[in-house]
Amino acid sequence: MSISATSGVSSGIDYANLIKQLVSLKAEPVNAMHQKVQDLELKSAAFETLSARLTDLKTAAAKLKTATDFKDFTSVSSNEGIVSATVGSSATGGTFSIVVDNLAQSHKIAADGVALETTVVSAAGGSFIYNLGGGADQTVTLAAGATLADVRDGINALKSGVTATIVNDGAASNPERLILTSDTTGASNTVNITQNDTTLAFNTTLQSALDANIKVDNLSIARSTNIISDVITGVTLNLSSADPTKTVSLNIKRDDTAIADKVSNLVNKFNSMVEYINTNNTYDSKTKVAEPFFGETAARNTLGDMRSVLSNIVTGRVSTMDRVVYAGITTKDGKLSFDSAQFKGLLGTNFDDVINLFTDDTGTDGFATLLSAKIDTFIDFSDGRITNKNKSIKSSIDRYNDDIDKKELGLTLYEESLRLQFASLEGLLVGLKSQSTFLSNLQSQSK
């Protein structure tokens, strides 16, 4: 007999509600396990975020590990309209006097004009052959009746380093002119026509092929391009215009602000890590809610170990610069403070010792490496403290989920068992009610 309805037909008992209450009571331990899984998932996510913040800190430290990391330079040009510069780590400081006599130019030639782009310029067909700077010949095969546009398109299809365009010069007759331009600047990159089976005559040089000619500290230099990277070590000159009458002063100097910004970034990443641990290591006595790191020694010890690196002496350094505090990094309320002005002043007066504090020396590690090594003890994939902690948390989550699956299956079977028992009870009650009715009827008939 089914008892899927709200109440038994004969008994009037609310079986559905009764079953729900009994199953709910049985499910309380499972619900507690679900809550435990949620708490563990929050804890795992918190440790993953902490690991990410430590990784960010390690990345910031990596930018201060070598002497090259402190070779940040900037350039100041007295006339960027003529020449500017970009500077790499191989540069050295200095001031250079530069005169740009002329810019590098691309070779550009023009054919005499014809009436229209569709004007036939090769009635019988043939070849139009050219090369760039005496290099390999490039051949455009012309069909009979080839037009000016056909020649242009054939050249451009070769992608040979020469670009063909058609320009209308506005002449009253024959205004359409084919222009050939070298894609590369420099005196050696001329466009040379070696076979011309067209009626086009290239009688006009619109622009000569020229090298850039400059003087650097009165030393005459010629290059085929206006971007010159092989004259001043570590410096790329960007030529914008020429004026032989003007001398541009180009000052290459160390960029102390860029170096200080790297240290400032490290300090900010450290403080981000500290703030995250502190925020997640609290307990609210009113709400009885604990944040994910509350009571977790892995997080608390991480903070302590990181602070010890900051206070330790970096061995092998001079006594006046063997701790980061001497470089303007101080601790207050568990967080770091960085005096950028003090640091940049030290770069000006004590540059080598500051570099040695952060970078590795023969046989000894600098502060950046020491910090990175300590971070590795937390986030190393195989045996990092935080990595292992999170592995343990995730294993616990898996075990709980396995137990939950088993217990929820048990709850399903328990609910079905109750339904069967109450169905039997309802059947028994129906039978008793029928017997009672029968006996009452029999008694009435005997009177």
Given a cut of 60, whether residue 9 has pLDDT beyond it is no
**pLDDT for position 435:** 63
- How many structural domains does the chain have? 3
Task: Please state whether beta strands 235-239 and 83-87 pair in parallel, antiparallel, or not at all (unpaired).
Answer: antiparallel
**Mean pLDDT computed over every residue of the chain:** 90
Please indicate, yes or no, whether residues 315 and 300 belong to a single structural domain of this protein. Answer: yes
Please indicate, yes or no, whether residues 240 and 319 belong to a single structural domain of this protein. Answer: no
Please indicate, yes or no, whether residues 233 and 265 belong to a single structural domain of this protein. Answer: no
Given a cut of 70, whether residue 41 has pLDDT beyond it is yes
Distance CA 8, CA 136 (A): 99
Closest CA to 207 of 181, 237, 225: 181
Cβ atoms of 61 and 368 closer than 8 Å: yes
Please indicate, yes or no, whether residues 323 and 377 belong to a single structural domain of this protein. Answer: yes
Cβ atoms of 161 and 184 closer than 8 Å: yes
Average pLDDT of the residues in 386-414: 85
φ and ψ at residue 412, rounded to 5 degrees: -60, -45
Given a cut of 80, whether residue 320 has pLDDT beyond it is yes
Cβ atoms of 162 and 183 closer than 8 Å: yes
pTM: 0.74
438 in a domain, yes or no?
A: no
Determine the structural domain holding residue 241 and report its residue range.
73-104+212-254
Distance CA 32, CA 403 (A): 12
**pLDDT for position 146:** 98
Distance CA 327, CA 206 (A): 61
Please indicate, yes or no, whether residues 278 and 306 belong to a single structural domain of this protein. Answer: yes
pLDDT tier for residue 257 given thresholds of 50, 70 and 90: very high
DSSP 8-state symbol, 320: G
With tokens 């403070």, the residue in question is 337
Given a cut of 60, whether residue 250 has pLDDT beyond it is yes
410 in a domain, yes or no?
A: no
128 in a domain, yes or no?
A: yes
Which residues, other chains included, contact 410 with Cβ-Cβ below 8 Å and sequence gap of 6+? none
229 in a domain, yes or no?
A: yes
What is the tally of helices (H) and strands (E) in the chain?
7, 21
Please indicate, yes or no, whether residues 186 and 232 belong to a single structural domain of this protein. Answer: no
Please indicate, yes or no, whether residues 261 and 246 belong to a single structural domain of this protein. Answer: no
Which residues, other chains included, contact 169 with Cβ-Cβ below 8 Å and sequence gap of 6+? 113, 175, 177
What percent of the chain clears pLDDT 90, i.e. is strictly above it?
Answer: 71
422 in a domain, yes or no?
A: no
Q: Which neighbouring-strand residues pair with 109?
A: 180, 205
Please indicate, yes or no, whether residues 189 and 240 belong to a single structural domain of this protein. Answer: no
**pLDDT for position 30:** 77
Average pLDDT of the residues in 97-120: 98
Average pLDDT of the residues in 48-60: 96
Closest CA to 191 of 181, 204, 177: 181
Q: Which one has a higher pLDDT value, 253 or 432?
A: 253
Please indicate, yes or no, whether residues 384 and 266 belong to a single structural domain of this protein. Answer: yes
Given a cut of 80, whether residue 1 has pLDDT beyond it is no
337 in a domain, yes or no?
A: yes
299 in a domain, yes or no?
A: yes
Helix (H) or strand (E) holding 291: none
pLDDT tier for residue 36 given thresholds of 50, 70 and 90: confident
Distance CA 338, CA 336 (A): 7
Structural domain ending residue among the three candidates 338, 368, 389: 389
Average pLDDT of the residues in 69-73: 94
Given a cut of 70, whether residue 110 has pLDDT beyond it is yes
**pLDDT for position 369:** 96
**pLDDT for position 245:** 97
Please indicate, yes or no, whether residues 270 and 249 belong to a single structural domain of this protein. Answer: no
Q: Range with the lowest mean pLDDT among 15-19, 108-112, 273-277, 380-384?
A: 15-19
Please indicate, yes or no, whether residues 267 and 384 belong to a single structural domain of this protein. Answer: yes
